[in-house]
Amino acid sequence: MTTTTPAGAALRCGALTALVRGGPVLEIASLTDRGEELLVPGAELPAAAAVHGAHGGITFLHPWANRLGSDTYALAGRQGVVAPGEPGITRDDGGLAIHGVTAAGTGWTVTREGDALARAHLAHEGADGTPFPFPHEVDVQIALAADGLTATARITATTAQPVPVVVGWHPYLRLPGTPRADWRLGAPPRDRLTATPDGLPDGGERAEPAEDAPLGDRTFDDGYRTGEGAAWTLAHDRRTLRVRMAGGYPVSQLFAPDEVDVVSIEPMAAATDALRDGRGLAWARCGEPAVVTFALDVEPRGAPGYRLPG
């Protein structure tokens, strides 16, 4: 059965449930395991962290993810311009446009197909001189399984103009029932992208080895080059959450503030501010859509097949 509704799509598979919402922002607003909520809503996040001031859960960042280092840029023969007072734009504490642009009009439409599958669609006009001047469509499939969910985005150029792929996700994760300090953070081998004080990459990279250690009182707001297939974990004595970069997400952003019990392990198709320097970009071209996928596994700690990241 296929159902399209502005209220979103409620999914269920085994012990997992999910709620997918569209409109100005595409958001997996809830993910529960045996009745326990694993996501942090926007209302509980620090004001600067909530996507467009309101959204948490697992939010799709479109058409770009994280900060844009300037209100103007030139790329592939197009001019990107974020005008003063531009609708749909949120700025960080330093005044930089962040988290992309909210969708205009009716925004994202969400369709439920059966009990465990949702599809979302958005058409982006992309006129020259706008914040993201690349016409395209995005189709996102969110599939719930008994052991987690998979989100696949397909970006299709709607003209001969190539489209840079700079999308990402903010999965704001929590482990209910255990203090934040006791959560274990597992990280793959990675290169940390060093940054300026305003959070923009400065071109430096520093290799860091795989680890699996208590989060303790550590905080993060850092970008990493992890490569295809990388996996991060967040675990306690009862459950492991595993974020896998299953395709098209070579960069991860790790966010863990001290004022809220949340860890966001963020799949990124490109590094922060890639629209300005153009480095390392993938492209969707006419007749050659780009497909990017990440998975969030939910598994009992010590379950068969449990493995450290790396």
3-state secondary structure of 19: strand
Residue 305 forms part of a structural domain: no
- Cβ-based burial of 45 (10 A; exposed 0-12, middle 13-18, buried ≥19): buried
Q: Name the residue range of residue 39's domain.
A: 2-300
β-sheet bridge partners, residue 13? 16
The whole-model pTM stands at 0.94
CATH number (domain holding residue 233): 2.70.98.10
Could you tell me the two tokens for 227? 């490569």
Measured CA to CA in angstroms, residue 88 lies from 26, 52, 80 at distances of 14, 8, 15
Q: Is residue 307 part of a domain?
A: no
Cβ neighbours of 88 (radius 10 Å): 16
Residue 215 lies in a domain: yes
Q: Is residue 47 part of a domain?
A: yes
Closest CA to 148 of 40, 222, 38, 26: 38
* 89-111: burial string, b at 16+ Cβ within 10 Å, e else: bbbbeeebbbbbbbbeeebbbbb
Q: Does 308 reside within a domain?
A: no
Would you say residue 309 lies in a domain? no
Q: How many domains does the chain have?
A: 1
Query: pLDDT tens string for the chain (310 positions)?
Result: 566 555 689 999 999 999 999 999 999 999 999 999 999 999 999 888 999 999 999 999 999 998 999 999 999 999 999 999 999 999 999 999 999 999 998 999 999 999 999 999 999 999 999 999 999 999 999 999 999 999 999 999 999 999 999 999 999 999 999 999 999 999 999 999 999 998 898 999 999 999 999 999 999 999 999 988 999 999 999 999 999 999 999 999 999 999 999 999 999 999 999 999 888 899 999 999 999 999 999 998 754 344 444 4
DSSP conformation class of 42: G
b/e burial code for range 236-252 (CB count within 10 A of at least 16 → b): beebbbbbbbbebbbbb
Bridge partners, residue 266, by sequence = 253
Q: Distance between CA 123 and CA 304 in Å, rounded?
A: 42
Domain annotation covers residue 310: no
In a domain, 306, yes or no: no
Q: Residue with structure tokens 């399209």?
A: 4
pLDDT tens for each residue of 128-156:
999 999 999 999 999 999 999 999 999 99
